[in-house]
């Protein structure tokens, strides 16, 4: 039986000795081509990018028909992409079959801030032995580009600035070479994005640190290969936006918005 099973696997793979090209082609015919992006992949990536960038407000309702119209697709790939994002806790299903961006709650806010600080600072420690001068140059280039965008737009939030911020962090994180922790961090960013839209709107240049202030401190620490200093600067960078939102919730007494 085992020999028959192995024979079948080899035949499907096109590696069974003694078979002709026609038999191999017939065996492979039912298999779908790999390496091609589907519409669902594109819809998921676009929604995911928008959530990470904070382009959706907490509590915002996403209706399948509306989203499909905006993306120019049928409803099926949108439905499947939304279901995937629900499973990743980036969105939540509502009783009326609509989908909502989770509301802001203090408990969830603190949980996300704590998880991001713990995991991302640990990844920096893992990345530090792999830091190169070229990587440091990339971090500086991304920070300069982000400053230029923010200076031009005159706002603390923009899609381009958010993309540059994401690129800065993950350029450093990927140096850790962890196939397990990077997807966890991506998930945390996905859940954090809508929460960080409010701080971007509430940003006050007179009292709040700029979006790239702690990026400069991270670069300086990484250049010295100073892991504790890089971790401290990272935790401060993560805490900056969460602190703005905490302050707003305290001053207004709002638990969700």
Tell me which range, 40-49, 174-183, 188-197, is most confidently predicted by mean pLDDT.
Answer: 174-183
The overall average pLDDT reported for the chain is 81
Q: What is the pTM of this model?
A: 0.75
Q: What percent of the chain has pLDDT over 70?
A: 75
Q: What is the pLDDT of residues 40-62, one digit of tens each?
A: 889 999 999 888 888 888 889 99
Longest dimension (CA), the chain: 78
Local confidence band at 215 (pLDDT 50, 70, 90 cut-offs): very high
- The CA distance from 67 to 74, in Å, is 9
CB-based contacts of 216-220 (< 8 A; 24+ apart in sequence): 216/143, 218/139, 218/172, 219/136, 219/139, 219/140, 219/143
Q: How confident is the model at residue 4 (pLDDT cuts 50, 70, 90)?
A: very low
28 pLDDT tier (thresholds 50, 70, 90): very low
Asked whether residue 77 carries a pLDDT value surpassing 60, the answer given is yes
Break the chain into its structural domains and give their ranges: 39-100, 106-252
- CATH fold of 106-252 reads 1.20.120
Structure tokens at 120: 């991302």
| Mean pLDDT, rounded, for 119-123 | 97
Separation of alpha carbons 201 and 190, rounded Å? 19
- Classify 78 as helix, strand or coil: helix
| pLDDT for the residue 255 | 54
Q: Which fold has domain 39-100?
A: Arc Repressor Mutant, subunit A (1.10.10)
Query: Which range, of 4-8, 120-124, 215-219, 239-243, averages the lowest pLDDT?
Result: 4-8
């Amino acid at each position: 039986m085992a020999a028959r099973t192995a024979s079948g696997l080899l035949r499907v793979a096109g590696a069974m000795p003694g078979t002709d090209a026609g038999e191999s082609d017939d065996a492979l015919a039912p298999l779908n081509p790999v390496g091609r992006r589907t519409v669902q992949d594109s819809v998921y990536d676009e929604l995911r990018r928008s959530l990470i960038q904070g382009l959706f407000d907490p509590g915002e309702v996403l209706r399948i028909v509306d989203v499909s119209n905006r993306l120019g697709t049928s409803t099926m790939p949108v439905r499947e992409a939304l279901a995937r994002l629900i499973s990743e806790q980036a969105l939540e299903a509502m009783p009326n079959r609509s989908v909502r961006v989770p509301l802001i709650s203090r408990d969830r806010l603190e949980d996300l801030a704590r998880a991001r600080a713990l995991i991302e600072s640990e990844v920096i420690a893992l990345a530090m032995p792999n830091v190169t001068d070229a990587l440091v140059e990339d971090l500086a280039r991304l920070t300069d580009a982000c400053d230029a965008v923010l200076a031009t737009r005159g706002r603390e939030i923009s899609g381009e600035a958010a993309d540059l911020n994401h690129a800065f962090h993950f350029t450093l994180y990927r140096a850790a070479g962890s196939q397990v922790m990077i997807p966890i961090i991506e998930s945390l960013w996905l859940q954090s994005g809508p929460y960080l839209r409010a701080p971007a709107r509430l940003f006050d240049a007179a009292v709040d640190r700029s979006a790239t202030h702690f990026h400069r401190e991270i670069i300086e620490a990484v250049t010295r290969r100073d892991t504790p200093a890089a971790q401290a600067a990272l935790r401060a960078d993560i805490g900056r936006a969460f602190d703005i939102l905490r302050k707003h919730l305290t001053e207004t007494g709002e638990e969700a918005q």
